[in-house]
Structure 1
Amino acid sequence: MDATTQPQFNQFKLGSYRFTVFKDGASIGEKAYETFGANQKLETVQELLARNFLPTDKFINSYAPTLIDTGSDVILVDTGFGEGGRARGSGQFRDGLKAAGYSPDDITLVALTHLHGDHIGGLMEAGTPAFKNARYVIGQIEYDFWTDKAREATPAEGGHKAVLANVVPLAENATFIGDGGKVAGGITAMLAPGHTPGHMVFHVESEGKRLVATGDTANHYIVSLQKPDWEVRFDADKTQAAATRRKVFDMIATDRIAFLGYHMPFPAVGFVETYEDGYRFVPKTYQFDL
């Protein structure tokens, strides 16, 4: 079921960098307790959701590709679903880009946190590269995993085929990086595996201001943050994903810096503080406007 019909975007500044976060779309999922807290009793997950004023059966999942305009580069972090998602009400990034005053040709760099379909679906448009002037930054571990023929005839085969169709044709214009690799000026990558084998987060710094684009490190603003050790169905290595959540959000909470989570409630930016045995999400308000 489609939960949104119009493209939306939100802009703010981090130092001298201008961020534009787009809502590529949103979908309504059934049985939240089967996705978040998959290793917990149904009643335990439902109680946590109810305590946080959320429905106990359904949930909304949204998608937030983001543009970082540094003045010298226009960087897109993840792409949304692209044309393949439009029949379901997603794939709205392209319309949002126009509404925000940019065109696909303005994008000079596309950086991918990982290679799931909702992050790479917008790389191609009508069979050709969607961002004709862009180069690409991709994690080496992630690329090697998804392009390996060993994925054939496994549950990962669909993802394998999507990478072959959307990412492999762009490889000659790509830089493949690892932990600590440079994405662009002021932006570095950190390996944050578990959700996928080569999942990365991006540290952004401008004029002393910091933000971490956390990708899919946390997939739900309540469950994945308040209960970071609970299993998430979408995580490939659930134990490693939980350890990564602890590592990344301990750092963000300790350093009191902002983060941008791909599946956080739009506009997908906020802060965390330690809370009980996990973290509490604090959405941004006017911190970036003053």
Structure 2
Amino acid sequence: MNKDISRRNLLKKMGLTAGGMAMGTAPVMASNGLEIKRNPYIYSFRIGELEAWSISDGFMLFDAGLDLMEPTNSHAQMREAMLSNHEDPSFLPMYINILVIRKGKEVIIFDAGYGIVNNSERGWFQEGLSAIGIDKNDVTAGFLSHAHGDHIDGFVGPDGKPMFPNAAIFTTQEEFNFWRQKNPDFSKSNRNPSWIPGMVKHAKKQFEILSPQIQTVKTGSVLFDNLVTVENGFGHTPGHAVYKITSGEDSLFHIVDLSHNPVLMFENPAWSIKLDHSPAVAIASRERIFSMAAEKKMRCFGFHIPWPGLGYINKKEKGYSWLPERMWW
């Protein structure tokens, strides 16, 4: 991922102090010397009869701002769209939202974040699980949407062993095959070439550790008694999956990394982040899924949308907009 990530810069730009960003239940000292315990970044909600949570694994800050976006000849329009939505176009903060659902004895996670890392900006997911009474051994299934570090690394513990030993991990055959081949093809990507060798090596290592747990699935597969449908969201990576979670008459559509920002990719699905493996394919996936979600008024969840990541996609005269769902306490 982009190395131009700075907690100090984010706090400065957002007008916050270091204490104001403390996560989980870690104690923070108030100005009067009294200890304050912050609430965990956990949001509980329901999908029909399912218990569900959005647990923040933290955030990333890309100081490159709009330079991370394509096409460059649309940067002026992107800047205007950001400013009209009261967003600072000089940097792109990305949230890391992990969806967790429980049905009976099944505890299912959708991606796993960065894992346990020595970094105050991220790696919060395990603390969040513990806070809602879920032990790593309780997790029965994980869906790996794609093999970027902010999605796969949390499936591996700091000891180099699987973090969730009792979980089957489902990923698409296309995703698994791409990263396991000898020389993955990045010829269509606008990603910084210097990042690619290390990223590929890391993904191969993680897949090697997780291979006994990996179960590859085809898009269109329906698992856990109609609970989870794996759908084609290809483009961000060759096998990038999105998910429909269904309980009775209710559903939630997890768009994963179809959008990395609450404004830009909705304003114009043809605007693409340089992290996309195949921009043309990613754009087609966005246009298809955004159109469907807007037409059907589907409740959605986004991995990189501002926490807790729940909302709706509205069709505008041109493009779309993200409408956050009202939070209930």
Common topology (TM > 0.5): yes
Structure 2 residue ranges without an equivalent (≥5): 1-5, 11-20, 25-40, 187-192
TM-score by length of 2: 0.82
Q: In structure 2, what residue type is equivalent to 1:30?
A: D
Question: What is the match of residue 60 of structure 1?
Answer: 93
Is 1:12–2:35 an aligned residue pair? no
Is 1:178–2:218 an aligned residue pair? yes
Q: Distance in 2 between matches of 1:148 and 1:37?
A: 28
Structure 1 residue ranges without an equivalent (≥5): none
Identical amino acids, percent of aligned pairs: 25
Q: Which moved more, 1:275-284 or 1:107-116?
A: 275-284
Q: Is the 8 A contact 2:112 2:152 kept in 1?
A: yes
- Distance apart, 1:67 and its partner CA: 0.8
Question: What is the match of residue 282 of structure 1?
Answer: 323
Q: Secondary structure at the match of 2:323?
A: strand
Q: Which moved more, 1:8-17 or 1:184-193?
A: 184-193
Q: Which moved more, 1:246-255 or 1:22-31?
A: 22-31
Q: Residue 198 of structure 1: which of 239, 242, 245 is its match?
A: 239
Q: In structure 1, what residue type is equivalent to 2:145?
A: T
Is 1:159–2:195 an aligned residue pair? no
Question: What is the match of residue 264 of structure 1?
Answer: 305
TM-score by length of 1: 0.93
Q: Is the 8 A contact 2:66 2:92 kept in 1?
A: no
- Distance apart, 1:71 and its partner CA: 1.8
Does the C-alpha gap of structure 1 residues 205 and 152 become closer, same or farther in structure 2, counting only changes over 3 Å?
Answer: closer
- Distance apart, 1:64 and its partner CA: 0.8
Name the count of aligned residue pairs: 287
Q: Distance in 2 between matches of 1:112 and 1:132?
A: 15
Q: Deviations over 1:212-236 (max 9, x none)?
A: 1111011111001111111211111
Q: Residue 170 of structure 2: which of 137, 142, 147 is its match?
A: 137
Whose radius of gyration is greater, 1 or 2?
2
Q: Secondary structure at the match of 2:119?
A: helix
Question: What is the match of residue 128 of structure 1?
Answer: 161
Q: In structure 2, what residue type is equivalent to 1:75?
A: I
Q: Is the 8 A contact 1:83 1:91 kept in 2?
A: yes
Q: Is the 8 A contact 2:116 2:126 kept in 1?
A: no
Is 1:240–2:281 an aligned residue pair? yes
Q: In structure 2, what residue type is equivalent to 1:181?
A: S
Is 1:217–2:280 an aligned residue pair? no
Q: In structure 1, what residue type is equivalent to 2:271?
A: W
- Distance apart, 1:152 and its partner CA: 9.3
Q: Distance in 1 between matches of 2:149 and 2:207?
A: 11
Q: In structure 1, what residue type is equivalent to 2:215?
A: T
Q: Is the 8 A contact 1:67 1:75 kept in 2?
A: yes
Q: Which moved more, 1:87-96 or 1:208-217?
A: 87-96
Q: Distance in 2 between matches of 1:182 and 1:168?
A: 26
